[in-house]
Amino acid sequence: MDGNSPAPGASAAAPDHTGLFDTPIFTDPSARALAQVGVIDVGSNSVRMVVFDGAARSPAYFFNEKVLCGLGRGLAETGKLNPEGRVRALATLKRFALLARGMRLTNLTMVATAAMREAEDGPEFQALIERETGLRTRLIDGPEEARLSAQGVLTGWPEATGLVCDIGGNSMELAVIGQRQVSATVTSALGPFRLQRVGGGKKGLRDHIGGVLKGLRDQVGDHHDALYLVGGSWRAIARLDMERRGYPLKVLHEYAMTPKSIRKTIDWIRDQDMADLRRLTGISEERMSLVPLATQVLRQLVHVFSPRNVYVSSYGIREGILYEQMPDDLRARDPLIEACHFMEHASARLPGFGKKLYHFLLPLYRNRPPERLRLIRAACLLHDVNWRAHPDYRADACFDTTTRANLGGLDHQGRVYLGIALMYRYKTNGMRPRIKEIAGLMSEKDLAEAKILGRALRFGAMFSMDGPENAGELRFFPKKEVLELILEREMKGLFTEVAEQRFAALANQMGASAKVRVRRTQSSNGPSSPSPEPSGETSPSGETSSSVPG
């Protein structure tokens, strides 16, 4: 089959670089980083309004409200929007219009997907919405919906490579992503509302789903190691997977599954009482009603495409519309670091100190891979954002901030690493049972490194208020197992009892001996060139030294 020809039950489109907007909102990222951007998404099942705020590259959700209206329920039988869904959707959109007016939003985009574009009365309802609310609806076709959803994944995973699958009530879209681009996009009628009309019992449904998916595979290929799932039905299944596994961190974004785990969960769901599952997970009755059909699609999806790993994305079409409005230089930024910069600016006592702290601690992390260095940098930026919390609960607040925050570009192991590091920035003893259970998601090696980072943050954050680099320099000699602090002569008064204790605790956590030197002279360009490894009481570079008791 030709790569540009639609599969049966699907359509395909080449990448479209024109998109929905002529010019980006963020023409000046530094000036517009705090601008509020609103998106209303009128889907086959839900109607949602999101207002993004904060760092433009990794925005927070200033407002986020969803109503499961079921506009597309029964569309396959009647060809029209669900009457009750119309009433609920119009009432919801009236509310959203008033809320947008109250927030004085100047950037608000509303899109409608499968139900509105396919229903006979879609154009009439679209006109009614505009007449009653003043909101103008942009109808987007299936390939455009796939592209925007894939861009939403790229908002959180800039380096993501693989296949994006977005399921709604009446359709399911696929898109290929890689090298920060969206390529092939296809759409199909594999939404649960549509599948309710498929005849032939279980076998008929299975054959229908398998046939459509094989046609889609001809369009997008089957060589994708990673599958990224977008949509409420997928998130519901992932939440149930967590329940079955007893997974301790209930954060859906970047939750990872394997095809084997998915198959086990699908079989497990089949044997459970749906009312009990709703009670355990908090999934709504409307959403849970679509799960059985969605599981049938997912079972065959992983069979047909054979991905090695499956990831859940909480980012989708709404985030994709925001991404659409970013210039390339803003898209190229790291969403995790941008979010941490914003959090530091908003909440830390000394915004900008995190960058200084990172460079002060960097000698401890020579030859670390870039993925680890970005986590260390993020921890430095976040080290002080919880300073207002009560001292008795500050460590736990630090852990919860990172493990539960809306942070893109951060997998679950990375969340826990940051959480443990920031907790040990304050806490000096063990972990509570709840945190210990979550910490079990990390390897023993990574857990030990996170604790070391916490001790380093604890020392560096209090060593000097105008920047630790002005007071001294850290050096680490792993072969000799020596951690050395070179104090600037005029700043040696900073290194008294509390600083000594925290420096010794850091060295002890690293399994190193602590050495302290006082620099004899200060060059006009800052610290002198590195001296030889410490030995004896006086170094060849003219620095006096002493040991710090552990």
Q: Which has the closest alpha carbon to 12: 177, 146, 112?
A: 146
Contact 408, 335 (CB under 8 A): yes
* Band of pLDDT at residue 545, cut at 50, 70 and 90: low
CATH superfamily, with its number, for domain 334-468? Hypothetical protein af1432 (1.10.3210.10)
* Band of pLDDT at residue 527, cut at 50, 70 and 90: very low
Sign of the alpha-carbon torsion through 191, 192, 193, 199: positive
Residue intervals in the chain for CATH 1.10.3210.10: 334-468
Sign of the alpha-carbon torsion through 358, 360, 363, 364: negative
Q: Return the DSSP state at 257.
A: E
Residue intervals in the chain for CATH 3.30.420.40: 21-139
pLDDT of 198-252, one tens digit each? 999 999 999 999 999 999 999 999 889 999 999 999 999 999 999 999 999 999 9
* Band of pLDDT at residue 427, cut at 50, 70 and 90: confident
Q: Which has the closest alpha carbon to 187: 150, 152, 222?
A: 150
**Rounded CA gap, 198 and 188, in Å?**
14
Q: Looking at the domain covering 143-319, what would its CATH class be?
A: alpha beta
Least confident span in 286-300, 315-329, 511-525: 511-525
Instruction: Write the DSSP assignment of 37-97 as a string of letters.
Output: EEEEEE-SS-EEEEEEESSTTS-EEEEEEEE---TTTTHHHHSS--HHHHHHHHHHHHHHH
* CATH number among 1.10.150.450, 3.30.420.40, 3.30.9.10, 3.40.1350.10, domain 21-139: 3.30.420.40
CA angle at 47 for the pair 44 and 53, rounded to the nearest 5°: 135
Model confidence at 531: pLDDT above 60: no
Hey, how many other C-beta atoms are within 10 angstroms of the C-beta on 443? 10
Mean pLDDT of all residues in the chain?
88
**Rounded CA gap, 401 and 214, in Å?**
43
Contact 516, 503 (CB under 8 A): yes
pLDDT of 179-210, one tens digit each? 999 999 999 999 999 999 999 999 999 999 99
pLDDT of 329-376, one tens digit each? 888 889 999 999 989 999 999 999 999 999 999 999 999 999 999 999
The pLDDT value recorded for residue 171 is: 94
SS3 of residue 188 by DSSP: strand
Q: How much is the average pLDDT of 69-78?
A: 94
The pLDDT value recorded for residue 175 is: 98
Tell me what percent of the chain is helix, strand and coil, each rounded to the nearest 5: 50, 15, 35
Residue intervals in the chain for CATH 3.30.420.150: 143-319
**Rounded CA gap, 174 and 216, in Å?**
8
